[in-house]
Structure 1
Amino acid sequence: MASTIEPPVDNSGPDAADLDLPEESKMTKLASASILATALEWFDFLIYSTASALVFGHIFFPSLEGALGTIASFGTLAVGFIARPLGGIIAGALGDRFGRKGPLVASMVVMGLATTSIGLLPGYETIGIWAPILLITARLVQGLGVGAQWGGATLLLTEHSPIKRRGFYGSLVQLGTVAGIIIGNAFFLCILLFVDENAFIEWGWRVPFLSGILLVAVGIYVQTKIEETPVFKTMQAKANAATADKEIPKVSLLAAVRKYWKQILQATGAFFVVNGTFYIMISGMLSYGTANVGLSQTTMIMIVCLSVATQIFTIPFFGSWSDRHGRRKIFLLGTVLMAIWAFPFFWLVDTGNPFLVALAIIVGLTLHAMMFGPQAALFAEMFPADVRYFGASLGFQLASVFAGGLAPMIMVSLIEATGTSASVALYIIVMAIITFVAVYTIKERFQADLHETSQEVEEREAREREVSAHV
């Protein structure tokens, strides 16, 4: 098989990506804003995941008993994921034409309002069938918001960052996801510790959702205090300087799909096992640990929260490592190790020993970080500047539908159908195979200039083919 690694660009002189870089203090400000925005956005999104596992079956689907209620709750979780590609498409189209910042801010406002509305919803006993209908509606709006957010936050950092630290800064966006999970689970844990189960089901679960309004305030801060990325500014300058005889064409969505369908599918496949195992470990385990293993809700939330906290260190570590060794190599290693860990993971969890359950999840999330850390930079480097928001967002969000949102529901369904966790281990291995094939075919571009547009990429590749033809 031909090599899929492109030769690194020459960095001996000043790279285009380094000409308009903010000073270190500005990068710290950008990183802090991106982490906070992502943390609050994923706090909002993931408290829904926790509530689906613990309480939504009782509140919105009381007529469904046991596992059926949990499956229905996870079904509404999946609905939000279905809306995410649409959010990514809309934000991508706007972000590639008008700037990265605007769609990011809009996503935070939409997400904050949708999350707050969930905290205000009456249950099934109060308004009947309208309760799950309104829940699903709010969940769809949440999905649109999250679908728009990741691409904007990722490009805000990767397009500002120095070329040799792009993996590290890109990983900080992923770190915001982890922070959101920790805050969300800690929120639920505090409520469970201070109120009894009846009070939790009656009103306690609503408190984290009502805090979603904070995300609107962060959106306003980003809009007023954060600058547009140097890459997009360069695109605008090129467009403004273009003459009538050399106009820079705009790439339509259909043209972007036709030209970059392979990269979109590669990004989708690359995220399969990353997203699927993540939701199995942080959401599916809350349900499985309480219903099948026999641990308490409080114990499982503590285990998940402490396990996820280890990623505060592992995600930036592997992101930084990818700046030295490339994204693809580390990603592939993490994929193989995750497949190997699938069966031992459930062997440890099924013991019911809290320490072994925690060990299983910590190891699993460390392997997850090997892929999740370099991912933001990898996806940004796969697409030219004028289709980057659209392409990276769509690939990411399609995988979120088929791997992430469905994973907890598939997990519960497989265990109900087979009576064994081995079926879920096999499911993880299948996702790992999909991811391995996708990442193996991606070209390594970890030292590439992010300023190139689609037209410039085509011109460069044409010159390279011409040179090769004369060699």
Structure 2
Amino acid sequence: MARPLTRTGPEHRRVVLAAMAGTTIEWYDFFIYAISAGLVFSTQYFAALGEDALILSFATVGISFFFRPVGAVIAGHLGDRIGRRAMLVLTLLLMGVSTVLIGLVPSAAAIGVTAPVALVLLRIVQGLSAGGEWGGAALLAVEHAPADRRGLFGAFPQIGVPVGLLLANGVLALVAALTTPAQFLAWGWRIPFLLSAVLIVAGLVIRSRVAESPVFEEVRRTRSQAGLPLVQLFRHHWRLVVLGAIVFAANNAVGYMTTGGYVQSYAVRTLHLERSTVLAAVMISAVAWLVSTLAGGWLADRIGRLRVYRIGFVVQLLWLVPFFALLDTANVGLLIVALLLFSVGLGFTYGPQAALYAEMYPARVRYSGAAISYALGAVLGGAFAPTIAEALQSSTGTVYAVCAYLAGMTLLGLIATAALRDHRGIPLDVSGEPAATPLPAERNPGGAA
């Protein structure tokens, strides 16, 4: 009798902890840069550009996104050939080292043009790491999960993003509160980058103790690895790659208003709110995002992945105008309310993602498919979302131009969900073929609890 492809009890807990811990650390590192781009880098590294300094600073956030697909291709190929766990360790190490080095780069006033060049190169390394990280973490969680709990298990690597945002904003807020504005700009902002060294060690210890995905073990045991996963993926499943990317782009563009630093920058520079106050408000919203992401994953196991996405996109669309109206009041209480409800739509369009992507692709190309859909969606949605938002607001004089841009992206995501099919509960081992045999949304899939 074939052995089961899911584990139970303590192993489940170790897997979800490893998936969540690793993505938390990865995204803490990523968000520290994105937030600092709006608060610090324009003056420390791009001040010579005058009025364009902030836009270029945000653009460096986007540059790394073009290297996410490269990281996804490399990690996807190796993840489909040699396993998920090795890639998780490698990507975590790459992200940590590059983050610590960013904290050590002197300002442009000290070493001239070498400073922004070094900053951009290290940001590119962050992009390579982020491109390969998510697919492995998502698959490790989902491929260990019982069939009827994949949405919930897959939500744990997803909550690494709001937890990373919470941690990044929390550390920056603490440093900002303990330093004067001049001290924060001179050296205080470097502390969160250097702290990444401690987090990386903890993450590597946790991930090294987790077993390989049972689905990949089955693939390896039956010698079912694809020789060239990327070729097979685009030959047979390119449409799924495109649709998956559009769905994520719609979430990512809206999410990067806070994770990319646009809201923080707008609130501090234009509305003249205190930096530490704004960071604290974003931390509160990150908690709401965490809860709604878990709720989205849990609900996806009950009503289907795509139904939860559609609910989330509708909420996201309806809240955009009220969100910017409340933001423009420059009232801290209303800012918190705006961010809290903003987070609900984000969670429902993010929580089911790991399960949706894992069930879209056959086991032999699953890492490549999930990672590349995710990376391309990040490029299309999040890469230059803060830059576009800043440019639209500056050129029109109103944040409602930003609102229109985000509404358009949300509608695209909603349309893309209509072209996808729900594969909830389909076998994830080598016998399954998600692209060919979808499970009706109303069916209640079996599986060990």
Quote the sequence identity (%). 32
Deviates more, 1:154-163 or 1:398-407: 398-407
Q: Distance in 2 between matches of 1:370 and 1:186?
A: 24
1:63 paired to 2:40: no
Over residues 337-362 of structure 1, what are the superposed CA-to-partner deviations in whole Å (9 max), with x where a residue is unaligned? 21121111111111111111111111
Q: Is the contact between residue 109 and residue 219 of structure 1 (CA under 8 Å) also seen in structure 2?
A: no
Match of 1:51 among 16, 36, 42: 36
Deviation at 1:452, TM superposition (A): 3.2
Q: Distance in 2 between matches of 1:175 and 1:296?
A: 27
Letter in 1 for 2:116: P
Deviation at 1:64, TM superposition (A): 2.6
- Pairs aligned (count): 438
1:87 paired to 2:71: yes
Deviation at 1:454, TM superposition (A): 8.0
Alignment partner of 1:65: what SS?
helix
Q: Is the contact between residue 18 and residue 203 of structure 2 (CA under 8 Å) also seen in structure 1?
A: no
Q: Is the contact between residue 112 and residue 214 of structure 1 (CA under 8 Å) also seen in structure 2?
A: no
Match of 1:315 among 276, 285, 293: 293
In the alignment, what sits opposite 1:361?
A: 339
Match of 1:132 among 116, 123, 143: 116
Give TM-score, length-normalised by structure 2: 0.94
In the alignment, what sits opposite 2:145?
A: 161
1:267 paired to 2:214: no
Q: Is the contact between residue 171 and residue 316 of structure 1 (CA under 8 Å) also seen in structure 2?
A: yes
Match of 2:193 among 197, 201, 209: 209
Deviation at 1:216, TM superposition (A): 3.8
Q: Pairwise mapping of residues 332-347 of structure 1 onto structure 2 (< 5 A)? A: 332-347=310-325
Alignment partner of 1:305: what SS?
helix
Q: Distance in 2 between matches of 1:223 and 1:333?
A: 34
Q: Is the contact between residue 44 and residue 112 of structure 1 (CA under 8 Å) also seen in structure 2?
A: yes
Deviation at 1:456, TM superposition (A): 9.5
Q: Is the contact between residue 181 and residue 305 of structure 1 (CA under 8 Å) also seen in structure 2?
A: yes
**Structure 1 stretches lacking a partner, 5+ long:** 1-15, 241-247, 462-471
Match of 1:186 among 170, 174, 180: 170
Q: Tell me how large the CA RMSD over aligned residues is.
A: 2.0
Deviation at 1:20, TM superposition (A): 3.1
Bigger-Rg structure (1/2): 1
Match of 1:256 among 220, 233, 258: 233
In the alignment, what sits opposite 1:466?
A: none
Q: Distance in 1 between matches of 2:94 and 2:255?
A: 24
Q: Distance in 1 between matches of 2:355 and 2:38?
A: 32
Match of 1:75 among 43, 51, 59: 59
Deviates more, 1:321-330 or 1:444-453: 444-453
Q: Distance in 2 between matches of 1:160 and 1:272?
A: 27
Letter in 2 for 1:428: L
Over residues 12-39 of structure 1, what are the superposed CA-to-partner deviations in whole Å (9 max), with x where a residue is unaligned? xxxx999132222111111111111111
Q: Distance in 2 between matches of 1:276 and 1:17?
A: 44
In the alignment, what sits opposite 1:225?
A: 209
Q: Is the contact between residue 251 and residue 386 of structure 1 (CA under 8 Å) also seen in structure 2?
A: no
Letter in 2 for 1:50: I
In the alignment, what sits opposite 2:25?
A: 40
Alignment partner of 1:420: what SS?
coil
In the alignment, what sits opposite 1:3?
A: none
1:434 paired to 2:412: yes
Q: Distance in 1 between matches of 2:47 and 2:434?
A: 58
Q: Distance in 1 between matches of 2:434 and 2:114?
A: 52
**Structure 2 stretches lacking a partner, 5+ long:** 440-449
CA distance change for structure 1 residues 372 and 458 in 2, over 3 Å: closer, same or farther?
A: closer
Letter in 1 for 2:32: I
Letter in 2 for 1:100: R
In the alignment, what sits opposite 1:9?
A: none
Letter in 1 for 2:367: Y
Match of 1:391 among 364, 369, 394: 369
Q: Is the contact between residue 22 and residue 207 of structure 2 (CA under 8 Å) also seen in structure 1?
A: no
1:302 paired to 2:287: no
Match of 1:103 among 75, 78, 87: 87
